[in-house]
Structure 1
Amino acid sequence: MKVLLDLQYLNVATTGIKTYMLELAQGVRDYPHPEIEWIFTHQPEEQAKDQTYKGPQSKIQKLNYHLDYFRWKEFQLPDLVKKHQPDVLVCPDFVSPAASLSCRRLTVIHDAFFWQMPQNYPKWWRKYFLSLIRKGLKEDTEIVTTTEYSKNSLLQHLGSTNPISVVYQAPKHLNGSFSPDFLAQNHLEKRDYFLHIGTFDKRKNLPLLVRAYADYMAKSPSGKKLVLAGGPGQSKVMNDLPIVEEMIREMGMEDRILLPGYLSDEEVKALYEGAFAYVFPSENEGFGIPILEAMASGLPVIHSDQPALMEVAGGAGLSFSAGVQSDLTEKMVLLEREKDRVASLVHAGHARSQDFSTKKFITAFQELILRSPLAS
């Protein structure tokens, strides 16, 4: 059986979707299946390094990217389907071609954010992107998503016309060795800071974390720092970074709350290795990869009780009521005071992280492919 994997979106993908695509491609290489021949549209590492459409862009550059993406999905990818004649086309970035194709499709829709949180997206862009998604859900198409929560959310907005399967993804492999120099350069000491890694999208609720941390500082004598690593939200509408920066200035906490921006794998690994605890206050997630990365690194995790995070953490994290600042502060103080609780969470988290691996991810994906009518 031939399977064509669309990796074009790696030239702009960040965080969760980028990890999904790279781990899927790596799983194909590391755990080949005798009945499946995988064909990549692009070499994943090279495509991920493409800088053409990354960084600050003018309106013309953004328009050029959207035109490039449209040409790829609606013309170039269908041409590759004709060339390679795959049995299955896998599109891991929400969108499959609107054109009729001769193969079965597996389209990965990671979450239902576009439907659930319309206020976080420019109106014209959201309308355009949703039209691309819907036009690609045709013929023999099955939707793949990341959690039962995402599946139920998608059923509410898309109905049951296309079958939806859940495949748990794998956390990112952090390449390189741990470098303590990075901590020293940022005036950080081991086990002396709370950590969050990710974009400053509004749904991440990072202003809430900043306020909770300020209250924690007033109640705790330890003075642990807070590190918020990652770049701005995906658009001006979605971006909370300027708000967080202003809050830090107004509170006079420039030396207590660090914003190191985007980091290399080695730097991220150093932060995970050195942190006291990981905090994930997001109000909506489709999966929550950092939970597993933190647990695998031996960190206790505080997370909101958002359904996907509860599902992924599997009871191995310390949850707080989403959006409730006082509850988050209470949980931060609790970890500070209860060493036994920390040890228990670290032990449970390590065990939970073992439930997610690249091998399990690709095996589940391959089983889904082989369950298709075209496999018989």
Structure 2
Amino acid sequence: MKIGFDAKRLFLNNTGLGNYSRFVVDSLVKSHPENQYFLYTPNTRKNKGTEHYFSTSNVHIIQPKGLLKFGFLKSIWRTFFISFDTSVKELDVFHGLSHELPLGLPPNVKKVLTVHDVIFLRFPEYFPVIDRFFYKLKLASACEKADLIIAISEETKKDIIAFFQVDESKIQVIYQGCNEIYFDKVSDERRAIIMQKYNLPDKYILNVGSIEERKNVGLLIEALAQIPENDRPDIVLIGKRTPYTQKVEKLIQKYKLEAKVHILPFISFEDLSGIYQQAKLFAYTSKVEGFGIPILEAMVSEIPVLVPKGSCFTEVVGPDGVYFEPENSLDLANKIQHILKSETAELISYQTNYAKRFFEDSQKKYYKLLEDLLKK
């Protein structure tokens, strides 16, 4: 089988969509080495997460050629010119890994689309008008052209049907996994080096994700302020800074929590896995997600996880997970104190076992869908 991928996010995004893209491609390359894989991207970036693509014999990186390598043409190549590459007509399947499909794909090429969320429609206040217009235009077009749509959660599937009137039979839910590095135990010595490198305390609550309004980490700061000073833990926030970060920093100053809150930028996989494993609790405060990979990363890192009720979170954490009432900082504070003072071995065991379903089932289901698609 020859499978093509829109690989821009795979090479250029270090979080969310990039993690998903690498998980899908890496899983296929590992489990089905007999296939040929074509990664279409306007740019590449070589790092620990992508360097193996450059040396794997059955992985082919396709980039713009000639004048399409320059300026504005390079930026629109992904939408308008991928289909003109000579390799495309030989493909069996083209998979748009993040809401888009190139225009003009040959009719003989089966088209698969992954939709992560439609947050820009459910919560339009978080997105500029022009962004919402183009996001909707591209996604509507891709949903119409796709032979198969993969939704990363039941929540996302419901939204696709509601906003784009897509036939339910065309959509399959396949949960996403995370990088296998989070399963590997980090030694005490290595963790100590990481803690020293980032000047982190020995014990802390962790939150990972872009520091933007939708992620709602201000609620975590407000909860921390309501925990008695003698019991108050440290918090480590890891994520890209946005204008919302200034609001978070003002909250930190308001409650005089500067010594308790540590904000870090993007961290490499190698260091991030150690930071996860050193944490005493992972607290996720996002208002809405398509799935929430950081939650899964925390679960396989074997630390307790605390998430809001609603959205897709019950799908990720399961029926016996620990939840707090959304937007309720007092309930969040109480749940934090309860977990930190409790024996968590049983909760961690449950989370670890529940997380396996995202790895054991999703890869097999995905490939079976591709095989079935080619028979039609």
Task: Say yes or no: TM over 0.5.
Answer: yes
Residue 133 of structure 1 deviates from its aligned partner by 1.9
Partner of 1:328: helix, strand, or coil? helix
CA distance in structure 2 between the partners assigned to 1:82 and 1:155 by the alignment = 33
1:232 matched residue in structure 2: 241
1:141 Cα deviation from its structure 2 partner:
2.8
Corresponding position of 1:10: 10
For 1:144, what is the secondary structure of its paired residue?
strand
Equivalenced residues, count = 349
1:183 maps to a residue whose letter is M
Deviations 1:303-361, CA, capped at 9 Å, x for gaps: 0112311111113421011111121111011113322xx2221121121122222x643
CA–CA distance in structure 2, aligned partners of residues 99 and 278 of structure 1:
44
Q: How does 1:120-135 map to 2 (within 5 A)?
A: 120-135=126-141
Match of 1:174 in 2: 181
- 2:2–2:93 contact (8 Å) kept in structure 1: yes
| Equivalent position of 1:146 in the other structure | 152
Contact 1:300/1:317, CA 8 A, preserved across alignment:
no
Is residue 81–residue 101 contact of structure 1 (8 Å, CA) maintained in 2? Answer: no
Kindly indicate whether residue 224 of structure 2 is the aligned counterpart of residue 213 of structure 1.
yes
Match of 1:335 in 2: 339
1:223 counterpart (221, 232, 236) = 232
CA distance in 2, matches of 1:85, 1:200: 42
Mapped to 1, the partners of 2:314 and 2:85 lie a distance apart of: 40
Q: Which moved more, 1:250-259 or 1:128-137?
A: 128-137
What amino acid does structure 2 have at the position aligned with 1:79? F
Contact 1:91 1:108 in 2 (8 A): yes
User: How many Å apart are 1:117 and its aligned residue?
Assistant: 1.2
Extract unaligned runs of 5+ from structure 1: 51-63, 234-238
How far apart are the structure 2 equivalents of 1:320 and 1:81? 53
1:9 deviates by 3.0
The one-character-per-residue Cα deviations of 1:108-151 (angstroms, maximum 9, x if unpaired) are 11011121111111111221222122223334532111011111
- CA shift for structure 1 position 187: 4.5
List per-residue Cα deviations over 1:79-110 (Å, max 9, x = no partner): 13764421211010111123353222101110
Amino acid in structure 1 at the alignment position of 2:352: H
Query: How far apart, CA to CA, are the structure 1 residues paired with 2:351 and 2:9?
Result: 32
* One-letter code aligned to 1:371: D
Matched residue SS, 1:98: coil
Q: Report the counterpart of residue 282 of structure 2 in structure 1.
A: 278
Residue in 2 aligned with 1:261?
265
1:65–1:200 CA distance, 2 compared to 1 (3 A): farther
Deviations 1:223-278 (A, max 9, x none): 32011111124xxxxx4211111211222211100001211112211211111100
Partner of residue 96, structure 2: 91
Q: Distance in 1 between matches of 2:212 and 2:112?
A: 28
**Does 2:76 correspond to 1:74?**
no
- Tell me by how many angstroms 1:69 deviates: 3.8
For residues 119 and 327 of structure 1, what CA distance do their matches in structure 2 show? 26
Which residue of structure 1 aligns with residue 123 of structure 2?
A: 117
- TM-score normalised by structure 1 residue count: 0.85
How far does residue 66 in structure 1 lie from its aligned partner after superposition? Answer: 7.7
The code of the aligned residue for 2:96 comes to C
Structure 2 residues not aligned, in runs of 5+: 52-69
Q: 1:315 to 1:141 in 2, by over 3 A?
A: same
Aligned counterpart, 1:57:
none
Give the secondary structure class of the aligned counterpart of 1:242: helix
Q: Would the alpha carbon gap of residues 81 and 271 (structure 1) be closer, same or farther in structure 2, given more than 3 Å must change?
A: same
Distance in 1 (CA, whole Å) between partners of 2:255 and 2:71 is 39
Q: CA contact under 8 A between 2:206 and 2:235: conserved in structure 1?
A: yes
C-alpha root-mean-square deviation of aligned residues, in Å? 2.6
Q: Which residue of 2 aligns with 1:371?
A: 372
**Corresponding residue of 1:202:** 213
How far, CA to CA, are the matches of 1:200 and 1:66 in structure 2?
A: 30
- Letter paired with 1:249: Q
CA shift, 1:290, in A, is 1.5
- AA of the residue aligned to 1:166: V
User: What is the distance in 1 between the residues matched to 2:150 and 2:135?
Assistant: 18
* TM-score (ref. length: structure 2): 0.85
